[in-house]
Amino acid sequence: MNRKRPGMNIGAAILFGIFGLLFFVLIVRIITIQVTGEAEGRAVAAEAAKKYIKTGVLEAKRGTIFDSNGDPIAEDTASFSLVAILSPTVTSDPDEPKHVVNPKETAKKLSKHIDMSESEIYEQLTPEKEPFQVEFGIAGRDISQQVKKAIEKEDLPGITFIKESKRFYPNGVFSSHLIGFAQKKMLENGDSVTNGMMGIEKSFNDILQGEDGKLQYKSDVWGYILPNAEEHVTPPKDGNNIHLTIDKKIQTFLEDALSSVEKQYKPKKMIAVVADPKTGKILAMGQRPTFHPDTREGLDENWHNEIVETTYEPGSTFKTFSLAAAVEEGVFNPNATYKSGAYKVENVPHPIRDWNNGNGWGTISYLEGVQRSSNVLFADLLESIGQERFKDYLDAFHFGKKTNVGLPNEASGNVLYNYPIERITTIFGQGTTVTALQMIQAETAIANDGKMMRPYVISKIVDPNKDKIVKETKPEVVGNPISKETAKKVREYLASTVTSEHGTGQPFAIDGYDVAGKSGTAQIPDPDGGGYLSSGKDGYLFSFLGMAPADDPQLIVYVAIEQPELKPTEIGSDPVSKVFNPVMQNSLKYLNIKPDENIGLKKIKVPDVSGESIQNAKAKLKELGLKPIVLGKGTRVEKQSPLTEEMVLAGERIILKTDGDVTVPDMKGWSVRDVLKVSNVADLKLNMVGSGYVVSQNVKPNSPFQKGEPLVVNFQTPKEQLNKEVEESGGEEQPLN
């Protein structure tokens, strides 16, 4: 019988003790974890949730911005990023690979669909250190649905897509500074968020943004959903939709006209607004320079919404409201007369001058003064209205106050009205500054029978999750600065600036519609201080504020163009009319406001008066509304210009050469075109010096002139004429019409 050695019993006892102690510690540890729910200071349930409970983000859709007809202007759309999975660990069945197995073939086929060469793609697919997956930079982002489907047809193992939303602007350049743009921003945790960067996208970002939802489910260690696992879904809350008052069709008319004029005249700036005077709705607004909201091309030239944020001196368009004040006060008699040319201000060394170098047009009626845009008339009217009383009208029209249109950074302008000279210059649009929206708001009172409407661009805000209107803007009357009767009279007077032979608004006549409005030529303050820019007729802000139809206006259109490049034969109203006229006419037709067949552009076919007596020829031309100018002392017409059958505007000069000795008329103030008529019809050797309008000629008016002799005519732009006066007198400049 073998006896156990004592050492073996001791070893077994020690082992038993060790294992017993370990088991005890394990039991204590398990009990402790069960009781406290923690291990090493961390919650066990939370750690398990991290490993086995998966969470996915359900992205909210950013709110859509619509036009007044429900067409999208800014919306979220699906885009895809191209991804290539390189790690073979994702492939469980070699017959159905989930990673890229043939980089060369994959590169060859992908190069047909994205903007990368085959070699560049191959380099991406074969890095030195094999990552799990690779992307393809800009060329692989923003893949459209069409391109995605084409790549999927190639059946390339390992090629997949990440779906994401992208902000899309389907109309391209379309009131870009009003709408603004939004772009994605990566957060520190790897998530992305779309934020508005300017315009409505920025100022209404919280309303548009929405709230992301989430999806939770239990999975195994490999990430697969466990059988019968419950899913917990928190649905996303889409952002609210914003409906604007902007009409897509009218905005397109405006953008096309602005682009055309920008290309032809290369102005420094342009702004234009179309509004409904009955409600205050802004139907279109645009500016140049502008930018494309998708590509941001052009954004570096100007971030500001000029129509809302910028103030400027309006020039003679401001006379619209000065005229309204005079009519309301009963001091404007269209048949009363005054002496045009210059107006002396007490204790001011230099007089107020009319825009034609202070020459004026002699003693003319008040109405003709409006038609000719006479500064002296309005200085005279201020005397009758009273300076303090006129300030009441400025306040009543809300100049110097924000319109509260609901857009950020709106400027208020400044009514310069401290000294007598400032009060006089304000009445014809110099010194005092305004915004385009203030001009639109004030014009609604003229167009809407005295009721002044607040302009607005947000029609309503809608919650798409509940299909409920959250906020709606209603038309708001913000004042009654004038009576209905005054508004009607002012429209009649403003319509005559377009139809009268003296009217500065002639270029804005539209076939089939009566237009009422006022043109303006405002000096631009020198940004370096010390007065105004001095750069010829290109150094001005040219504008027109008009409405149609004049008897019951349905639209207001305001256009202002700064420093366009004009030819010597062109005036500032030329580029402005090339925006105003097509936008107004096309918009009226689009709104089904039918033209009046009895209203035309006042164009007249020139009759043939050659061979007729001077007396009969003059009578015939005057009866048609034309202005005959006779060259010579003869009794019969030998030659005429313009020629027979040519179409001209009412009031245009028709040059008649007689069968007697040739004489040259007084051409002071004439345009280049009219001087050329004289030269052509009389066969004169013409030498033109300068540009603009005639200031002098080498031949005494109405004196005999021999065929072939040189006719020297000196021209100056209105700005040059003013500068000359200023240099001679040492005084301050006055604005143009």
SS3 labels along 551-614: CCCCEEEEEEEECCCCCCCCCCHHHHHHHHHHHHHHHHHHCCCCCCCCCCCCEEECCCCCCCEH
Q: What is the dihedral of CA 398, 403, 409, 413, to 10 degrees?
A: -20
Tokens 């002496």 correspond to 339
Q: How far apart are CA 65 and CA 73, in angstroms?
A: 5
From residue 242, how far is each of 25, 237, 585 by CA, in Å?
Answer: 66, 16, 29
Considering 175, 316, 322, 519, which one is annotated as catalytic? Answer: 316
CB under 8 A, 24+ apart: contacts of 492-499 = 492/516, 492/550, 493/323, 493/327, 493/334, 493/367, 493/370, 494/320, 494/323, 494/370, 494/446, 494/518, 494/546, 494/550, 495/550, 496/367, 496/370, 496/371, 497/370, 497/371, 497/373, 498/546, 499/602, 499/650
E strands, 337-488, where?
A: 337-339, 342-343, 352-353, 363-365, 452-453, 458-463, 468-472, 477-479
Strand partners, 237: 211
Tokens 């350049």 correspond to 173
CA atoms within 13 A on the CB side of 408: 15
Helix, strand, or coil (residue 535): strand
DSSP state of 212: -
Catalytic-residue membership of 176? no
- Six-digit token pair at 641? 């210009």
Instruction: Collect all residues with Cβ–Cβ distance below 8 Å to 737 and sequence separation of at least 6.
Output: 315, 316, 355, 372, 373, 375, 504, 519, 520, 521
Q: How far is CA 564 from the centre of its chain?
A: 17
Q: How far apart are CA 680 and CA 510, in angstroms?
A: 30
Q: How far apart are CA 412 and CA 402, in angstroms?
A: 5
From residue 563, how far is each of 523, 528, 543, 572 by CA, in Å?
Answer: 10, 17, 11, 9
Q: How far apart are CA 520 and CA 428, in angstroms?
A: 10
- Six-digit token pair at 383? 């005397």
Q: How far is CA 592 from the centre of its chain?
A: 25
Which DSSP string corresponds to 9-37?
A: HHHHHHHHHHHHHHHHHHHHHHHHHHHH-
Give, rounded to a whole angstrom, the gap between the first and last alpha carbons of the chain: 137
100 with 89: CB under 8 angstroms?
Answer: no
Strand partners, 503: none
**Catalytic residue positions, numbered:** 316
